[in-house]
Amino acid sequence: MRVEYDYDTCIGMFQCVAEWDAFERDEDAGKAVLADSEETDADVFVRDVPDDAELDAKFAARSCPVDAITIYDDDGEQLIP
């Protein structure tokens, strides 16, 4: 499973931070940060989701009010949103 996070779309509600500890608050920027991620496009960050964190990652994506977090399965199929 893989998570893709669009930093530019984030509005800083930090609901993802409450759901998955891979997301951290950046109070100065007013946005969340996806830890241990790689920037693949401008302001788009990607990382693999550990097997034991799949449920947390899904909850983080579902909690985002602006759909800045996208979850893909191992075959590249979009699961959320």
Show pLDDT as tens, one digit a residue, over the chain (81 residues). 999 999 999 999 999 999 999 999 999 999 999 999 999 999 999 999 999 999 999 999 999 999 999 999 999 999 999
Q: Which domains does the chain carry? A: 2-80 (3.30.70.20)
Distances (CA, A) of 69 to 9, 30, 41, 73, 75: 9, 16, 14, 14, 18
Q: Which residues pair with 32 in a beta bridge?
A: 25
Residue 78 is encoded by which pair of tokens? 């979009």
Sole residue written with tokens 């669009």: 6
